[in-house]
Structure 1
């Protein structure tokens, strides 16, 4: 309640008395709650006239979002993994396209079970999807998501964000976002699909070990995580209302950085090197190997040379 009161003040200071009355708690309790929020990383400034929220665009609580999606937003200060939490919540019957967000993840993972650095300031979330799809078409959701996020970031910040097969995002050749999907089937249809997305926003992922970049680094200033997520959720849900594989592939190809590039693709048991020629209508990558043989690669981790 206290955070909501501060958020709705649009950055203007709110006195301890008004907060106390709105939350129906004592002034001492208000002070304790403010202190706890600041310790949790919320930027609240104490002024002579009251308390003011400094970085409202970085908050990801349900009340921060447009009303039509508020009941789909589930925010947690810390989780082991949004993917694992999404699985637990799916059993509780949450709505299609519900979004599980964590400020910090302590055991996040990427493709091929690689660890993913999910520190404060990034955008870490998993979507709980209930698509009317057979399992062979589940790949379309991943491709739609990466193309949508690329479009959203290009539109908001005028950045040349590109998709890398199968569903990473690159900015200036560095990794900006990674996506991971897991599904559960029932009979011959997808029952649940969990789409985990990690986007470097206001964190600083750059290191000698990881060729990564964040929006903050690229733009030289922090940006609104809430704005990014709200735009993405609206666009993505509209794109998957009626799945059209040909349209999704076409939209993905418009933003690709992989086709025409020399690549190294690592699967569970092999490594393929060559030139990426195309992505076919099943989402598979067509690679002409250094041995001259053209192969269709259905799944793997792709690295650009």
Structure 2
């Protein structure tokens, strides 16, 4: 975002809902009132809700903004916001080597080419919470799965706590609400020698968007609650809880926290991998994050990856 536009947006945000005159913005930004009007127009076109009033400009729905300056000081240098990206995952890969902090968060208002597991497309319209975490865990690659499980359990807890909703985790790392998909996660690992160099954890959460369709069994928080909610509040709570959970990685603890929130164990499932489909009852998740499924022929299998569907 151009510096002048960011100055204008900061001034509106920090006015705490009160109108800010064009004269005041012009003085603060060091530009003409015509230039202020042009920048305000560009911000509106980018999706920022700004109302023009006789006394000036007023920011609408300020609590839903995801710019770095909107977050608490301890998170501001970790937030990288973009109005539109092809994919937050791809952008995270680009900036990871620029010395960004561990657990930095790349956010997009809209993604135009986002993807889920097995390279399936993921709809990322305005109003959702689309982000990728840049993690630098001190872990060998076989323990990378712990980040997914920790993240899905944390997000489930945060949403249950904020909105009193029974949000459940579905193996390996989706979130379900009323049996419908509320969130999906995708992890990609980059290794160096025998350790994880970067782990990119992409998360898509349906918040104030409307993902429901005949094709996708999805739901948003707005649909479930009948009102819009603060994406920023969700993200702050999640980032704080998640980072505290992964300071020391204990796979058994992470698995147990995930199991406390699971909707998969004990359920009839169908798991689709790249070239096979397994059906049966989900008995457990072992200490490697694998799903244990007992098929109707009595054979018990350990499934390491795949898309899981509840029957």
**TM-score, structure 1 length as denominator?**
0.99
The one of 5, 22, 26 aligned to 2:28: 22
- Equivalent of residue 106 in structure 2, options 95, 100, 112: 100
Between the aligned partners of 2:143 and 2:256, the Cα distance in structure 1 is 15
| SS in structure 2 at match of 1:243 | coil
1:117 aligned residue (94, 117, 123): 123
Determine which of 202, 205, 208 is the counterpart of 1:202: 208
Partner of 2:74: 68
CA–CA separation in structure 2 for the residues paired with 1:290 and 1:41: 51
What is the rounded CA distance, in whole Å, between the counterparts of 1:291 and 1:301 in structure 2? Answer: 21
2:56 aligned partner = 50
- Note if 1:192 corresponds to 2:236: no
Instruction: State the 1:91 CA deviation.
Output: 2.2
1:243 aligns with 2:252: no
Check if 1:230 corresponds to 2:236: yes
TM-score by length of 2: 0.97
| Residues 229-284 of structure 1: per-residue CA shift (max 9 Å, x gap) | 01100000000010011110010000000000000000111100000000011100
Corresponding residue of 2:47: 41
After superposition, give the CA deviation of every residue in 1:44-102 in whole Å (9 maximum; x if it has no partner): 11111111111111110000000001000000011000000000001222111110000
SS of structure 2 residue aligned to 1:29: helix
TM-superposed CA distance for 1:183, in Å, is 0.4
Distance, in Å, in 1 between the alignment partners of 2:198 and 2:55 is: 50
Q: What count of residue pairs does the alignment treat as equivalent? A: 305
**Corresponding residue of 2:186:** 180
Deviation per residue, 1:87-128 (Å, 9 max, x gap): 000122211111000010010000000000001110000000
| Partners of 1:20 and 1:283 in 2: CA distance | 56
Cα distance in 1 for residues equivalent to 2:283 and 2:293 = 6
Q: Give structure 1 regions of 4+ aligned residues with deviation exceeding 3 angstroms.
A: none
**Tell me, which stretches of 5 or more residues in structure 1 are unaligned?**
none
SS in 1 for 2:98: coil
2:96 aligns to what? 90
Aligned to 1:300: 306
Say yes or no: does 1:9 pair with 2:15.
yes
Task: Find 2:147's aligned residue among 127, 141, 147.
Answer: 141
> Quick one: which of 199, 213, 220 aligns to 2:226?
220
CA distance in 2, matches of 1:157, 1:76: 27
Give the match for residue 168 of structure 2: 162
Alpha-carbon displacement from aligned partner over 1:132-151 (angstroms, at most 9, x marks no partner): 00111100000000000000
Separation in structure 1 between the aligned mates of residue 29 and residue 244 of structure 2, nearest angstrom: 37
Please state if 1:267 is matched with 2:273. Answer: yes
* Aligned alpha-carbon RMSD (Å): 0.6
